[in-house]
Chain A
Amino acid sequence: MEIKVLKNILGANDQIAAKNRELMASHEVFAVNVMASPGAGKTSVVLQTIKALKDKVTIGVIEGDIASSIDAEIVAKEGVPVVQINTGGECHLESFQIQNALNNLPLADIDLLLIENVGNLVCPAEFSIGEDLKVLIASVPEGDDKPYKYPLMFNTVDAIVLNKIDLLPYVKFNVDGFTKTVKTINPKVELFKVSCSTGAGIQAWAEWLSAQMKRR
């Protein structure tokens, strides 16, 4: 006997994500899902964003990693509340993990929640966690061919932060070509070019993020 099912496989994850979104909205928390490949500079962008915005808004951080709490320790030095999630082998954060983390954060005191996903350009694109914004950190040394290799990720995000632009003189990376490709794959995406080492471009990124928070 054949039974028609027609159910989204990630439906259960999406339901919990919707609950997370509701919970955060009730506390007026604006959540950003920060995704990237390993080493692109997720933690550096999180740190720079904290430095740029901490006088204007209160910030909390969720750090997702397969193992270790190195990133959480670095972020905690900035004096913001941080929760570390260790996925124990899983390559992405899922909404139930965020649900648990939210229970351990002072949501009433947080305006902006930066959620650093596991370093990976494949799986995090598919798992909604209840975020208001999806942001991808790309970086110059990774090469300008990544958009076509990971189209779902580049197509899914609201903003792309191209990090390590201070390395452009030393690395073969076509910024115009990258920009054109990104806009083809994702016509609505915002693109920022930054260097977390020199601080270039961070201001523009932080101002845009600030504006998104007010728009909600």
Chain B
Amino acid sequence: MHELSITQSMLEIVLKQAEKVQAKKVTKINLTIGAMTGVVSDSVQFYLDILTKDTIAEGAQVFFTLVPSQGKCRQCNQTFELPEFDWTCPYCQGNIVDVISGKELFVDSIEVE
């Protein structure tokens, strides 16, 4: 459900950037999304189609670069992809893990005409 406010904030950023270069149309929006954020890509496109009506971003396509959740073991310093269950370190069985990626949520770039 938070896709609505995320899409709204994202669109504000996009329109501001497009205005800066006096673009006539926004065709592509490239987002970088961490796996842990739980953002549903279909919902973002759905809300975007509604929110962009009568703006220069109408019809823009969203592309997602998904960043996997990665952790770093405090005991052996190895990094590994965090599985769905059990974040025990696969290298040393340590169980203190710092999250180093997976929380990303930003507009990477846009394509305009």
The interface stretch among A70-78, A86-94, A202-210 is A86-94
Q: CB-nearest residue of chain B relative to A12?
A: B9
Chain A residues with CB under 8 A of B74: 187
CB-CB < 8 A to B113: which residues of A? 1
Determine if A9 and B97 form an interchain contact, defined as CB atoms under 8 angstroms apart. no
By a CB distance below 8 angstroms, the chain A residues around B37 are: 126, 152
Q: Is A7 close to B, CB under 8 A?
A: yes
Known A-B contacts A3-B17, A6-B108, A184-B97; A152 and B9 likewise in contact (beta carbons under 8 Å) = no
Set of chain B residues within 8 Å of A123, measured between Cβ atoms:
1-2
Is chain B's interface secondary structure helix, strand, loop, or mixed overall?
Answer: mixed
Cβ A10 vs Cβ B98 within 8 A: no
Contact with B along A12-26 (1 / 0, CB 8 A): 110000000000000
On whether the beta carbons of B13 and A11 are closer than 8 Å, the reply is yes
Instruction: Please tell me if the beta carbons of A152 and B38 are within 8 angstroms of each other in the complex.
Output: yes
Q: How many residues of B contact A (CB 8 A)?
A: 41
Q: Which of A2, A3, A89, A122 has the most CB of B within 10 A?
A: A3
| Residue contact B107 to A152, C-beta cutoff 8 Å | no
Number of interface residues of A (CB under 8 A): 31
Q: Which residues of B contact A155 (CB under 8 A)?
A: 36, 99
In chain A, positions 177-216 with a C-beta closer than 8 Å to chain B are 180, 183-185, 187
B60 to chain A, nearest CB (A): 13
Q: Contact: B111 with A90, CB < 8 Å?
A: no
From B85, B103, B106, B109, A152 is in contact (CB under 8 Å) with B103
The contact string, 1 if C-beta is below 8 Å from chain A, for chain B 72-100, is: 00100000001011111000000111110
A13 to B96, CA, bound (A): 31
> Which residues on B sit within 8 Å (CB–CB) of A7?
13, 17, 106-107
Interface residues, chain A, CB within 8 Å of chain B?
1-13, 89-92, 94, 122-123, 126-127, 148, 151-152, 155, 180, 183-185, 187
The 23 sampled A-B contact pairs (Cβ below 8 Å) are A1-B113, A2-B110, A3-B112, A4-B109, A5-B108, A9-B9, A9-B106, A10-B9, A10-B105, A12-B9, A13-B9, A91-B1, A126-B2, A127-B2, A151-B36, A151-B69, A151-B99, A180-B95, A183-B96, A184-B88, A184-B95, A185-B97, A187-B74
